[in-house]
Amino acid sequence: MNHASPDPNGPAACCSADGKQAAAPKFRPGGRVAAIGAPLLAFLASQHHTIMMGLFAFGLSDAAMSFMTAAPLVRDAMLGMSLAMVAVVAWQIKDRRRPRPMRVAGALSIVVTLALAAWSIIQFGV
């Protein structure tokens, strides 16, 4: 009969409830990349507005605008992804189980995104 030991390295620490040796956790090589990459990408995604405002502050807004007209495929891809996110958010906010503030924020996000996409199409064409 195994008695629990107050020592954290004692017999109770190494064994499972049935007394067998506990299996060591499996190490996944990609786990470290995901553990570092996900927070890094989340941080960069949250900072894209700050970066753009910095470009505006330093007078590089004309360069960004000329890039949008010079590389229409990039602009089209960005518009397409924005419209895809509109569809995803619209699908999510129709779920009645979601809290009302989340659905209202999603609806506002849809309105703003569609307004900006319309402005972009009016300014630069399709």
Q: Are residues 119 and 80 in the same domain?
A: yes
Range of the structural domain that residue 43 is part of? 28-59
**Cβ–Cβ under 8 Å, residues 19 and 2:** yes
Higher pLDDT, 96 or 36: 96
What distance lies between CA 44 and its chain's CA centroid?
A: 10
Q: Do 90 and 120 lie in a common domain?
A: yes
Is 17 within a domain?
Answer: no
- Judge if 54 and 85 occupy the same domain: no
Q: Say how far apart CA 35 and CA 26 lie, in whole Å.
A: 15
Q: Is 86 found in the same domain as 40?
A: no
User: Quick check: is 21 in a domain?
Assistant: no
> Are 84 and 119 members of one domain?
yes
Q: In this structure, is residue 10 part of a structural domain?
A: no
pLDDT by residue (tens digit) across 51-101? 677 766 666 666 666 666 666 777 788 888 888 989 988 998 998 898 998
Number of domains in the chain: 2
Contact 125, 118 (CB under 8 A): no
Assess if residue 105 is contained within a domain: yes
Whether residue 41 is predicted with pLDDT greater than 70 in this model: the reply is: yes
The predicted model scores a pTM of 0.50
Do 95 and 126 lie in one domain? The reply is yes
